[in-house]
Amino acid sequence: MRTSFLILFLVLYSLAGPGIAPARAAGGPAILVVGDSLSAGYGLRPGQGWVSLLEGRLSAQGYEYRVVNASVSGETTVGGLERLPRALEKHRPAVVILELGANDGLRGLPVAELEANLESMIQLSRTAGAKVLLTGIRIPVNYGPRYAEQFFAVYGELAQRYKLSLVPFILEGIGVDETMFQADGIHPNPEAQAILLDNVWPALQPLLGH
């Protein structure tokens, strides 16, 4: 795995980001995105990130959903779990997209902790009446290949246990392509955002009921 992909995880952890930001005015059921800088749109202009592009695709295909982006650069599953109850109460989403874990991997946090936090978020979301889409992430092998394999396996295991829609690897198709990154060589650029959305869409669309 190339060096810039490893650096991506360093920046995902270190950067501070915005709080919850609606991508569309109120109206219609909500899709709540809880993620890190991959979903927060770090380094992009407003409207360029894949979450913003999702809003446009929903509208173009006749889905009357509003998109709420609760992603924060540097977020871990611990932080996501702490923030989720308030977001669920405030927005009452029909669908929750969980895009977290990269920063847990950077820290080398126990795989059991990653699994427990994601599992709690899944359970909270379902208790609130939301369908859940889980997006997986691969991490570098700097903590050893066994750790990386166990870490990645958590997403598939949780998806199977709870019968969730799953995006196996949200960066599929761009992780080894330098032209898909911003000038810093770290963050996916505007052109890559459509690929991220295309990775998410096949797993999301069946949850939209239309």
**Domain segments of the chain as ranges:** 3-207
List, in sequence order, every residue forming a beta bridge with 33; answer none if it has no partner.
Answer: 69, 97
The single residue of 36, 37, 91, 104 carrying the catalytic annotation is: 37
The single residue of 104, 125, 187, 198 carrying the catalytic annotation is: 187
Active site residue 184: yes
The single residue of 14, 59, 177, 184 carrying the catalytic annotation is: 184
Q: Which amino acid type is present at position 61?
A: Q
Active site residue 210: no
Alpha-carbon gap, residue 157 to 72, rounded angstroms: 25
Active site residue 187: yes
CATH of range 3-207; options 3.40.50.450, 3.40.640.10, 3.40.50.1110, 3.20.20.120: 3.40.50.1110
Is it the case that residue 13 has pLDDT exceeding 50?
no
Q: pLDDT of 70-116, one tens digit each?
A: 999 999 999 999 999 999 999 999 999 999 999 999 899 999 999 99
pLDDT band at 187 (very low <50, low <70, confident <90, very high): confident
Question: What percent of the chain shows pLDDT beyond 90?
Answer: 77
Alpha-carbon gap, residue 11 to 37, rounded angstroms: 9
